[in-house]
Structure 1
Amino acid sequence: MQLVLYSKPGCHLCEGLQEKLEQISAIDLEIRDITTRDDWFQAYQYEIPVLFLVKEAQTSSLLALPRPSPRATVRQLEQMLQKYGQADP
């Protein structure tokens, strides 16, 4: 399962989510720093952390996932990802 996390340096919510996601062995996590591209910054500056599931790697088709609670456990994140990873496109 491939995920994209939009983040920025100093974002504690982003860092916490990234730390939990990195504990899940079944995912390939790409971190995108919104400060490196103006279009990402404009889109997500007030929304980060923003998490997407890569539905089709060849076409870069992304599915926006709901933002998990900062209190969510690693197990709860795994359950959420399983739910969305098995959904039809």
Structure 2
Amino acid sequence: MRLILYSKPGCHLCEGLEEKLAQIHSFSFDLEVRDITTRADWVEAYQYEVPVLCQNNNGKETQIPRPSPRASVSQLEQLLQKYLKTHDSE
């Protein structure tokens, strides 16, 4: 499974989410962090929304609902498991 995190330099919410994702070990995924400042289309799409977490399924990106910045690692893990289980079966 591949997850994509759209972020920008200096964004403490982005850094916090990335740190929490790194602590999830109950299921495996590849995390690609994309700096939105490197592409104009990403800036336009996400400049007011980062961090944005997406699942990449065979080239199709699906945005995952944004977790609360206050969510613990286990809460984030539960949210991802629930979301990915629901959307993998579609």
**TM-score (normalizing by structure 2):** 0.89
Of all paired residues, the percent bearing the same amino acid is: 64
1:2 counterpart residue number: 2
3-state SS of the aligned residue for 2:10?
Answer: coil
Equivalent-residue separation in structure 2 for 1:11 and 1:55 (angstroms): 26
Q: Tell me the matched-pair count.
A: 86
2:30 counterpart residue number: 28
In angstroms, what is the RMSD of aligned CA positions?
1.0
3-state SS of the aligned residue for 1:70?
Answer: coil
1:49 counterpart residue number: 51
Unpaired segments of 5 or more residues in structure 1? Answer: none
2:83 counterpart residue number: 84
3-state SS of the aligned residue for 2:4?
Answer: strand
3-state SS of the aligned residue for 1:63?
Answer: strand
2:15 counterpart residue number: 15
Equivalent-residue separation in structure 1 for 2:83 and 2:66 (angstroms): 13
Deviations 1:11-54 (A, max 9, x none): 00000000000111322110000000000001000000000012
Structure 1: 4+ residue segments shifted above 3 A: none
Unpaired segments of 5 or more residues in structure 2? Answer: none
3-state SS of the aligned residue for 1:21?
Answer: helix
**TM-score (normalizing by structure 1):** 0.90
1:69 counterpart residue number: 68
Q: Quick one: which amino acid aligns to residue 16 of structure 2?
A: G
Deviations 1:42-69 (A, max 9, x none): 100000000001222xxx1111111100
